[in-house]
Amino acid sequence: MVIMVVALVAMAGMMAITVRMQMLGRSQTAGVRLAQSKIDELVNLNFSTNTITNVGGSLTSDVTSYNDTPLTSGTTAVVGYKRRWQIEAITGQTKVRKLTVRIIPTTNDRRTSAQIDLATIIRSP
């Protein structure tokens, strides 16, 4: 009976760790998807006709037109995340820019991952 109790207690501890790791993985995946969706949105814009692709923004503070609360389908906000992006010029290039998107969890607990940064190069079509 004692052996059985010890085994069950060990298994319960492992299950708690497994559930936490699964939730962290889900949070990390959601963050990467949100960053990728913003990158996909900005990749398709022309620099000369869209002010949203102007050089600017900040990853550490909210700047008008360079941050948002991501939306699911329609107008429903994705709960628990904020998105900021920064567009930087590349020396000697007029049609190429560096884009960095940061996903910031608005809740900070053991089930959510830390902020996520995703950087890429975008070019004007």
Predicted confidence at residue 80, as pLDDT, reads 80
Q: What is the sign of the dihedral through the CA atoms of 61, 66, 71 and 76?
A: positive
Looking at residue 20, its pLDDT comes to 85
- pLDDT of 45 reads 82
Q: Which two tokens stand for residue 58?
A: 């900040």
Alpha-helix runs per DSSP H in 1-125: 2-43
* Contact predicate 69/82, CB 8 Å: yes
User: Which tokens go with 71?
Assistant: 């939306």
Residue 119 is predicted with a pLDDT of 94
- Taking only the tens of pLDDT, the chain with its 125 residues reads 999 999 999 999 899 889 888 888 888 888 888 899 999 988 888 887 877 788 899 999 999 989 988 876 556 556 788 999 999 999 998 888 999 999 998 877 766 668 889 999 988 87
Domains of the chain, residue spans: 2-123
Q: What is the pLDDT of residue 107?
A: 77
User: What is the model's pLDDT at position 83?
Assistant: 92
C-alpha dihedral (24, 29, 32, 38), degrees to nearest 10: -120
Quote the CA–CA distance of 91 and 20 in Å, as a whole number: 44
